[in-house]
Amino acid sequence: MTKIIQKPIVILILSFSLAHPCTNLLVSKEATQDSSTIITYTCDGEFHPHLQYTPAADYQEGDSLEITNWSGELLGKIPRPRHTYAVVGLMNEHQLMIGETTFSGREELREPDGLLHYWTLMRIALRRAKTARKAIRIITELVDQYGYASSGESISIADPDEAWILEIIGKGKGSKDAVWVARKVPAGFISCHANKARIGTFPKDNPDMCLYSKDVIDFAIEKGYYDPGSGKEFSFRKAYCPDTPKNKRYADGRVWSIFRRAAPSKKFSPAYFRGNENANPYPLFIKPDKNLSMQDVVNLMRDHFEGTEFSMRKGVDAGPFGTPNRWRPINWEVDGQEYAWERPISTQQTGFSFIGQARNYLPDPIGGVYWYGVDDTYTTCYIPLYCSINQLPESFTIGSLQKFSWDSAWWTFNFVANFANLKYSYMIKDIQKVQNEIESKFFELQPAIESNAINLFKDGKPKLAKKYLTDYCISNGKMVVDKWKKLGEYLIVKYNDGYEKNENGRPTEQGYPKAWLQDVIKLRPEQFKLPKKDQNAPSSKLID
């Protein structure tokens, strides 16, 4: 008898209530420069992630998987297959990868007594499926049989050939079933989602591109979410996750920012996410202006609306040194008027993120790369983890939110990111210099590393090839964390007490930007003003 404990789910649910997380980007293999299928996932919330490796396993006929809650109380059981696959993070040994964003939708449709949370479903699918289509079938069949226990979810599922979005939501108290629709990203296109349902209308007779539950429309009619007499085509998004000014601002802004950068020629308007009722929603799929490289995808996941009027690096709210971070709550009120900070893709609340790369022209052990980073995407450094490795860099597997430790990769990256807020416009340049040097080297070395691994496979040494990749990944993980610790120590010394040490190690006064000083004077024009110098008075020098 084996168990799956809902502990990771409890951690994530607690964090979701604080930050309401996550952004996903999906890229079809025909839209990338190297024919990789790519998906990304930022898992945002106030929690300390532990990277996990689960080995492949064999089970006896009739063995079952126990589902328990945080306290170990048995919630139910489901049958085990005879064999399950190895999983690194959220990618399995066959290059299948999964991410998600929570869209909540209609809260009345949540059934807390269902057996399976979305996180459990994702993990089970990775253990049992080789392809995205099989993962969709496993998830939806398990929900039909054992019940769904989450709110609305958009789930990204991809393999070396296809990328799909599955959107699912329960049927409410007393009904453990769910309704769902899944759409394949068309060849040459990309898609993204960010805490709001994205699938609108969908083809009913094209199973190669779209799958859906048999009652997805009938249930909406029954609940009054859709009127077939309206003359309008059924939209999953409108029925199960209706627009509100808050969810447009919170979620659609991130979709807009990815699309406007991936396809600038299309000149996507911000009007929809800013709440203009006459503006059209953003399409589910777009064709990028050019095929994307891995570096392009990494860059898309690093975004604070830079280059737009909504840039979080500007304005009094960014402080004198242009920090893009805004402290929660994201919604706030002054004199009876409600306001909201922008919700960017990059956020200090990110626990971990990944960029998954799957390639059908390479053997599975080499083709699947789980590029993994902890903390804010803007200041993290992604390390390559091949889907065939059987050990992980230790510092990414340990640590607690309740205690700082340099032994924890998350705390090390968190320290550097937090310290940078003191003088962000200065320190971010130091951080990005190290970040770019390391990530560029990883991308540069990737062909050679993979060529060596392929040669070992050709020579009939698959175990040695996997050990070679494992050793490479573990050493990289250790190297990156060591460099980030040194980076943190360097920043403390360089910017100690508000000074900046020059190339000779001498502290120099940099002061504040002129524009910010002008704002200070406007707010308090008299407080900092010095009397004009009396020409007859003796000169003096103020010593600090």
| Element holding 16 (H helix, E strand) | helix 7-19
* 115, 142 Cβ separation under 8 angstroms: no
Per-residue pLDDT of the chain (544 residues; tens, 9 = 90+): 444 444 343 334 333 333 457 999 999 999 999 999 999 999 999 999 999 999 999 999 999 999 987 778 899 999 999 999 999 999 999 999 999 999 988 999 998 888 999 999 999 999 999 999 999 999 999 999 999 999 999 999 999 999 999 999 999 998 889 999 999 999 999 999 999 999 999 999 999 999 999 999 999 999 999 999 999 999 999 999 999 999 999 999 999 999 999 999 999 999 999 999 999 999 999 999 999 999 999 999 999 999 999 999 999 999 999 999 999 999 999 999 999 999 999 999 999 999 999 999 999 999 999 999 999 999 999 999 999 999 999 999 999 999 999 999 999 999 999 999 999 999 999 999 999 999 999 999 999 999 999 999 999 999 999 999 999 999 999 999 999 999 999 999 999 999 999 988 999 998 999 999 999 999 999 999 998 876 566 655 544 5
Q: Please give the radius of gyration of the chain, using alpha carbons only, rounded to the nearest integer.
A: 25
* 132, 164 Cβ separation under 8 angstroms: yes
Distance CA 212, CA 181 (A): 4
Distance CA 351, CA 45 (A): 6
* 407, 395 Cβ separation under 8 angstroms: yes
Beta pairing, strands 64-68 & 37-44: unpaired
Residue 4 token pair: 């799956």
Taking CA 16 as the corner, what is the angle to CA 12 and CA 19, rounded to the nearest 5 degrees? 135
- Cβ count within 10 A of residue 477: 22
Phi, psi of 425, deg, nearest 5 = -60, -25
End-to-end, the C-alpha distance of the chain in Å comes to: 71
Task: Read off the DSSP letter of residue 265.
Answer: G
Task: Read off the DSSP letter of residue 431.
Answer: H
Nearest to 153 by CA among 190, 114, 110, 123: 110
Nearest to 287 by CA among 313, 303, 266, 317: 266
